[in-house]
Amino acid sequence: MVGNASRAAIISDRRITGLSADVIAELVAELGPLWHDRHQARLASRPRKRAVGAGAKHRLVFVGRFLATLVHLRHATTHHVLACWFGVDRSIITRAIAEVRPLLAERGCTISQGVRLRTLAKVIDHLGTDG
């Protein structure tokens, strides 16, 4: 699991997420409550099988989910690599990205469709055409 030091390193190095620490803090403050409300609504929408507070706890809190999504969107990092980096199962990363991306999209943070550079040759060709 990513500890506080690792989280701080991800936030402080703009090359990893592409955003400054201030912007990340603003987004977390804005999107965190929305994510929490949706999570609680999803839990309330189905009948309980366990008592309140029972069951597994989140191994990846919202900030970790948000950072994993930012890294995935910026670098197209695979879910498996992110899972290894954050110390969780791949399915947790997949679910985290699926939960956070719509929140970012509703806020107006979208990824432009178009160029998908999947190989080094395509990256070099793209850089050559764009200068």
Domain segments of the chain as ranges: 4-130
pLDDT given at position 39: 87
* H or E element, residue 107: helix 90-107
- Collect all residues with Cβ–Cβ distance below 8 Å to 64 and sequence separation of at least 6: 1, 2, 7, 86, 96
| Element counts in the chain: helices (H) and strands (E) | 7, 0
Please state which of the ranges 14-18, 37-41, 84-88 shows the lowest mean pLDDT: 14-18
Other beta carbons within 10 angstroms of residue 92's beta carbon come to 20
- Would the pLDDT of 90 be above 70? yes
Confidence category of residue 49, pLDDT binned at 50, 70, 90: confident
Tokens 């977390």 -> residue: 28
Render pLDDT for 102-126 as a digit per residue (tens, 0 to 9). Answer: 998 888 776 655 556 666 676 667 6
pLDDT given at position 69: 92
pLDDT given at position 46: 85
For residues 91-97, average pLDDT: 94
Query: How many residues comprise the chain?
Result: 131
Helix, strand, coil tally for the chain in percent (to 5): 65, 0, 35
Is the CB of residue 31 less than 8 Å from the CB of residue 100?
yes
- Collect all residues with Cβ–Cβ distance below 8 Å to 24 and sequence separation of at least 6: 11, 17, 66, 67, 70
* pTM for this entry: 0.74
| Tokens of residue 72, six digits | 């995935």
